[in-house]
Structure 1
């Protein structure tokens, strides 16, 4: 009998390299990348088990709880089929054992469940006549899917008149799912549409859910996969606003306490991400992460899929306690040497190992025995003057008390009474920087926009943050020069993972006296940055171009 799943990969091209992604949120994993993750798993297993080969173990169980194409399950099955040949010499018996006893999945949609079964069982029905598994009695086999509904909660109670009965009835609006945060307005759908209510995260008791799906005694040794990344939350034009959900999948997976977990996630959680602060704190404090391989450049892992901030995959080991081996890759090449380090050394995950060593020097610098203050502590919050994106008049003519307002590539005049926050800053010298900068391209070499020196009688819209308020024009110009240095922009880059820039982005930048001009040479000398580290900084951060337009921001939306 010829077993199709193991000959499929011999065809050119592999069928799973030919399917289009569902969206930027539900991304198919390329087979080559799935195998890289499996190689990482196999190496970790061997290290922990005196060189043993995980693919020769007939009792090791695997779960992909967010199955899409079935690539992880297919490649695991292929490896086990080769590795268990001595345990089960008969091919049909070997494959049936693997598929019925070792390999499990949970489809994220009906379509992906069917696709995964076709990839793994060679049949959309696990018990069908063409299935290569012979012992299943159900159509799902071990790749489960059933429609799950959201649990709507919260919202606003309103009373309306029923148009038929003319009776007043109570309705709820703006409700969200209590499990995943999905908007009822966007995801309350008919039976013929997917709900995107993923079963794995729509439960208060993940162990009970797994027992319900696969049996009371089911304990997985390995959980592996690539979860959905986010759900549109009903905000923003065209669904631009979205809420991350991959963190929910990670938390449920680790709560099952597998021996190993290997997962791909967007890297935004390192230092940002909407609503991810608590998740980041838990991830960094968990010393069971053994390996993290980071791909900071757009499109390196998923060509054509725009995941700002890049992606990474990591290996979590239940029996590991200590530093994590961190590797940065550009394309297929590792950049620098992997480094063992504690992920919670700082409040964010600094993604470049060389960057950590430079940052350690900066943070260790003392003045009169004291740590230096940080620029991020004085940078303004969003909407520093209470203005959104209002635009005033082109000239001050006709205004009683005009203020010059810097906006999105504009300057206009408004009445001073329009300023509702930090009114005392209006008549001070200050330096402004845009709060979103960069493009969706692969390389961000400028990091920050061009500083704007704003004199007395000025304010800005929410396009800008106020970097500092000072007493004189000289100090303001010196601060602008400081912000243009490669040194400062490099330190910001260690916290800036997408185009968005917040006051927290400046929390690695020392707050120095602006009674003098600071150059990169001065700063390298002050913090003992050696020549190799200087070369590293300058390989990443370009000299500040002289033709930047203040406030310019190509594709700067979040």
Structure 2
């Protein structure tokens, strides 16, 4: 056995760069990206251990609890094989020690567990003839996988006649529940043995420490947990509307009390909802996030994988209490300087370092904000797919209805919610705004001024209600400013533009027309801060506001 066989370095080509992703939910990590994360770990360990190398310690244990290609395990093994050369001079003894005592994984599917063993042991069987580990007695080695099932709860119940005894019984309706651990839809994920259940062992447990003891032994404790978890359950939702699950993997990893946790996830947790609010609060207020590297540009980091809002990886350190160093990446290269800052100043993570000073100046005035003015979703109680008649002819009390890409007409009696708003001047904003472009630059659609006698479906939010057309016009001009849309961008990580994205925007008096120049002066922005805003937010053209319906 020679050194190249064991270290698995200098492979040309590296097969793990060629594997297609399973889906946007289960994304393979490119080797180069995995090594960037390991470099971050190496630096952090050295900073906390008087310059010592993490790869030179034969007692440390590493776990990838959701391994797919095995790239993290393989690269860790390569680094340990180099770092332990002095401590364990014999190559075979060294490799055997690393693979049996230090490196562990949990496969997320049967297929990925086999891929991981092939990557790590150079054999699909850890104890096979060609395995580079020589002390395993089992085929699995330290890469565990066994099919796990969802635990369904919350099924609908109905009264039925007992077919054997007569009388009435309460019956649970199979297919109407959800998994109590991950929220999977039973109708979608209750599958036969021939299909993957996608019930991941690492999060389908009430006691993660007991689960790890079951898999690897009661005395097992991991110093480092690292990897790239499944991101979401696509159970009827798609992309941004699918249910996120990566937060459960992070939380269970922290519950195992590692010294270090290094993980790559979608960045939507910085500001997104859908079950992420408590997770975000924990991450921002713990002060244990030491480093975060952010890839806001679509397809950057994971080429060809569309993850709206971008991705990021972080290093969480158990014994750390301090600011987090944030580095933005663009086209694979650092953009601007890495900056250390506290993350709990605001309720969301402000991802660009250059934006913090601007937001600080705006919030220092302690003005009320537009989220108090903007309506919740479905302002008139009408769904997106609701359409009225093409003409008001024959309708007793016709209301003009703004809907998805068209205007129709309904009777006032058909407006189920907030009918009193019909007779006010309103400014409407689309509830979803964004494109498939790699970089978002508008963040909000053009506002629509809707006069008395109008309503809308949930395609729109009512961004403001007014007594006069002049006020509505001034408000719509304010919404079109780059300044306002920049503040929106700090909270808007997906296409959804709900009322929460307006929470940083000051609700200014409408006694004058607000322009970017006036707003920059009002908040004392510097030339550099103004240049940054205008580099991030494109101007809307000068066409009429109500042309937004035709966009």
TM-score exceeds 0.5:
yes
Q: Distance in 2 between matches of 1:420 and 1:428?
A: 17
How far is 1:141 from its partner?
0.7
Q: Is the 8 A contact 2:240 2:308 kept in 1?
A: no
In structure 2, list runs of 5 or more residues that go unmatched: none
Matched residue, 2:493: 497
Matched residue, 2:354: 354
How far is 1:542 from its partner?
0.7
Q: Does 1:129 align with 2:124?
A: no
Q: Is the 8 A contact 2:427 2:449 kept in 1?
A: yes
Q: Does 1:455 align with 2:457?
A: no
Q: Is the 8 A contact 1:381 1:503 kept in 2?
A: yes
Matched residue, 2:54: 54
Matched residue, 2:371: 376
In structure 1, list runs of 5 or more residues that go unmatched: 366-370, 554-558
Question: 1:167/1:64 Cα in 2 relative to 1: closer, same or farther (>3 Å)?
Answer: farther
SS in 1 for 2:548: coil
How far is 1:544 from its partner?
0.9
How far is 1:162 from its partner?
9.4
Q: Is the 8 A contact 2:157 2:173 kept in 1?
A: yes
Residue correspondences, number: 546
Matched residue, 1:368: none
Deviations 1:428-449 (A, max 9, x none): 1111110111112111111100
Matched residue, 1:177: 179
Q: Distance in 1 between matches of 2:495 and 2:550?
A: 12
Q: Does 1:417 align with 2:413?
A: yes
Question: 1:543/1:5 Cα in 2 relative to 1: closer, same or farther (>3 Å)?
Answer: farther
Matched residue, 1:407: 403
RMSD between superposed Cα atoms in Å: 1.9
SS in 2 for 1:336: strand
Q: Distance in 2 between matches of 1:165 and 1:36?
A: 66
How far is 1:11 from its partner?
3.1
How far is 1:379 from its partner?
0.4
Deviations 1:445-503 (A, max 9, x none): 11100110111111111011111111111111000100000000000000000110110
Matched residue, 1:250: 250
Question: 1:159/1:124 Cα in 2 relative to 1: closer, same or farther (>3 Å)?
Answer: farther
Q: Distance in 1 between matches of 2:26 and 2:541?
A: 38
Picking from 191, 213, 216, the partner of 1:214 is: 216
Q: Distance in 2 between matches of 1:197 and 1:387?
A: 36
SS in 2 for 1:379: coil
Q: Distance in 1 between matches of 2:541 and 2:9?
A: 49
Matched residue, 2:473: 477
Question: 1:29/1:472 Cα in 2 relative to 1: closer, same or farther (>3 Å)?
Answer: same
Deviations 1:325-361 (A, max 9, x none): 1111112222221111111111111111111110000
Q: Does 1:191 align with 2:189?
A: no
Question: 1:240/1:294 Cα in 2 relative to 1: closer, same or farther (>3 Å)?
Answer: closer
Question: 1:188/1:165 Cα in 2 relative to 1: closer, same or farther (>3 Å)?
Answer: farther
**TM-score, with length taken from structure 1:** 0.95
Name whichever of 239-248 and 516-525 sits farther off. 239-248
Q: Does 1:63 align with 2:63?
A: yes
Name whichever of 217-226 and 6-15 sits farther off. 6-15
Matched residue, 2:270: 270
Deviations 1:147-176 (A, max 9, x none): 111111111123567999999883423111
Matched residue, 2:232: 230
Deviations 1:266-300 (A, max 9, x none): 01111114111111111111110001111111100
Picking from 389, 392, 406, the partner of 1:393 is: 389
How far is 1:10 from its partner?
2.3
Matched residue, 1:288: 288
Q: Is the 8 A contact 1:8 1:15 kept in 2?
A: no
How far is 1:512 from its partner?
0.5
Q: How does 1:419-458 map to 2 (within 5 A)?
A: 419-458=415-454
How far is 1:71 from its partner?
0.1
Question: 1:128/1:552 Cα in 2 relative to 1: closer, same or farther (>3 Å)?
Answer: farther
**TM-score, with length taken from structure 2:** 0.96
Matched residue, 2:502: 506
Q: Is the 8 A contact 2:9 2:78 kept in 1?
A: no
Matched residue, 1:140: 140
Q: Does 1:26 align with 2:11?
A: no
SS in 1 for 2:249: helix
SS in 2 for 1:550: helix
Q: Is the 8 A contact 1:225 1:262 kept in 2?
A: yes
Q: Is the 8 A contact 2:288 2:316 kept in 1?
A: yes
Q: Does 1:550 align with 2:543?
A: no
Q: Distance in 1 between matches of 2:242 and 2:441?
A: 27
Q: Is the 8 A contact 1:409 1:550 kept in 2?
A: no
Q: Distance in 1 between matches of 2:374 and 2:252?
A: 37
How far is 1:386 from its partner?
1.2
Q: Distance in 2 between matches of 1:7 and 1:504?
A: 50
Q: Is the 8 A contact 2:239 2:307 kept in 1?
A: no
